[in-house]
Structure 1
Amino acid sequence: MPTTSPTSLAPTGNATRTAASAAPSTAFDGEAFMKLLMAQLKHQDPMNPMKDQEFMGQLAQMNTLAEMQKLNKNIEAMSRTQSLVQGASLIGKMVQAQDATGQQVRGIVGSVRLMGADVVLDIGGATAKLSDVQTVQEGFYA
């Protein structure tokens, strides 16, 4: 029986955790930007008002920020979906992994589910994260 190392699977599981942990705890949203901009306009020097180009530049930055936040959410969702699909591709295959307690688990993957940011495999009554899979043997029920 051929054995395949799942090293190509681990980075995706870790990428989801890394992206989630790298996100700032308080996002700078458009509302906060508008409050700052309004305060700046309210307190500007009447003898030296803000130039149109500066104002338009700040509005463009706000729009760019909003679009980047949307893009980040879409990429995170795509990463979770890709991880789930990779886990689903292991259903019916014999895997060896380490469970949450550090014990080695070996068995046929029966199902896959998302728990927070992690893809969890059900392996013959035990569970293990996709990122903790060490070997995959093909040719059982696949």
Structure 2
Amino acid sequence: MTDTPHVGDIMKDTATHRVGKVMGFVGPYVQLRPLGGGMEWDAQPEQLMSTGSAEALSAGVAEANSRSRYGVSVAADSVLPTAVKSPRTTAEAPPSSDECALAKRPGYLDLHTECRQTQDVFLPGSAGILLAPRCGCDCHTIAGCR
């Protein structure tokens, strides 16, 4: 490395092939932290290389993609909305589950007990994105289906 890194610089550690932000200096080492946050690591100054804006952006996108596989990334002081079941009118009622739709036919009445859509199903790690609504059937109230 030809330039001395400064705190806040984005550098590539050629020994580990990782890109990080310079957080400080301890003894002969430069402390780097992944762009998306996380555990700092020590790097030898001669193994650091400054990154271009394209490489820094690419590393930032890779970190964001990695975080997205494990849930929503939010600031530490953010408040996520909780999933609250709001009362629905009959005009807004979701369709019946397949089991309940079939149970309306003669000879299939017992299928109401097989209904598995007893509650709204939200996308894991999301802030209220609905994957599947609970059953809209008014014929039963098994396990809180309504």
Per the TM superposition, whether the score is higher than 0.5 is no
* Greater fraction helix: 1
> Which category of TM-score, normalised to the shorter sequence, fits these structures?
under 0.3
Structure with more relative contact order (C-alpha pairs < 8 Å, separation 6 or more): 1
TM-score, length basis structure 1:
0.26
